[in-house]
Amino acid sequence: MALTIFILRLAVCILAFPMYLLDFLGLWNWICKQWFPYFLARFTVMYNEQMASKKRELFSNLQEFASPSGKLSLLELGYGTGANFKFYPSGCQVTCVDPNPNFEKFLIKSVAQNPHLQFERFIVAAGENMHQVATASMDVVVCTLVLCSVKNQEQILQEVCRVLPCLSPTPGVHSNSCPSSR
């Protein structure tokens, strides 16, 4: 049994060696940032086919979180290729945050395919540091398949609380304005 485990571990090391070498040479991050958007664009099509009914259900009540003016400001963290855009309500004002600038061309394509949305801006930043997004400026924050791949989940959640009016520590903004507290 020990020999089998040794052989399997050796096989994994041999197969992973090119990645270790690229990382050692400082190329792995660059390759991932360049090619991951293309992989995700293909994966997203299959994923959305499988998850469409669930996403419709999950996002069906978004309009309930709109501000008193009726406008819905939505921040999507790690938006990738814009896979969720078609599930957002009409007139939704969308701001996107992603640390990978190579997703921007996919964002432009997705925005063009979803004219029912009002695209606000694309911010190249990590979710842990969204200082470009004003405190208490968003009605909803969406992050799908993101929290499992970030460096600091607690810090991202603190930033999410900061940008939501019902959770931010801003004076004069009270938690009873949260739709969930109705």
The CA-based diameter of the chain, rounded to the nearest angstrom, is 68
Residue 93 lies in a domain: yes
pLDDT at 148: 80
pLDDT at 176: 40
Distance CA 178, CA 16 (A): 48
**Which of 30-39, 69-78, 96-105, 128-137 has the least mean pLDDT?**
30-39
Is the pLDDT at 172 greater than 70? The verdict is no
Residue 47 lies in domain: 35-181
Indicate the burial class of 110 (C-beta count within 10 angstroms; 0-12, 13-18, 19 or more).
buried
Using pLDDT thresholds of 50, 70 and 90, give the confidence band for residue 68.
Answer: confident
Distance CA 173, CA 178 (A): 10
Residue 26 lies in a domain: no
For the chain, the average pLDDT equals 84
Residue 102 lies in a domain: yes
Distance CA 169, CA 171 (A): 6
Residue 12 lies in a domain: no
pLDDT at 169: 59
Residue 11 lies in a domain: no
Residue 72 lies in a domain: yes
Residue 97 lies in a domain: yes
Give per-residue pLDDT as tens, 93-106: 999 999 888 888 88
Count of domains observed in the chain:
1
Using pLDDT thresholds of 50, 70 and 90, give the confidence band for residue 7.
Answer: very high
Indicate the burial class of 107 (C-beta count within 10 angstroms; 0-12, 13-18, 19 or more).
buried
Is the pLDDT at 177 greater than 70? The verdict is no
pLDDT at 179: 46
Provide the token pair at 42. 């293909």
What residues have CB less than 8 Å from 5, skipping those under 6 apart?
Answer: none
Is the pLDDT at 158 greater than 80? The verdict is yes
Residue 163 lies in a domain: yes
Question: Residue 75 forms beta bridges with which residues?
Answer: 95, 141
CATH number at residue 84: 3.40.50.150
Torsions phi, psi of 120, nearest 5? Answer: -90, -60
- Residue with the bigger pLDDT between 132 and 30: it is 132
Q: 127, 62 in Cβ contact below 8 A?
A: no
**Which of 5-19, 21-35, 66-80 has the least mean pLDDT?**
21-35
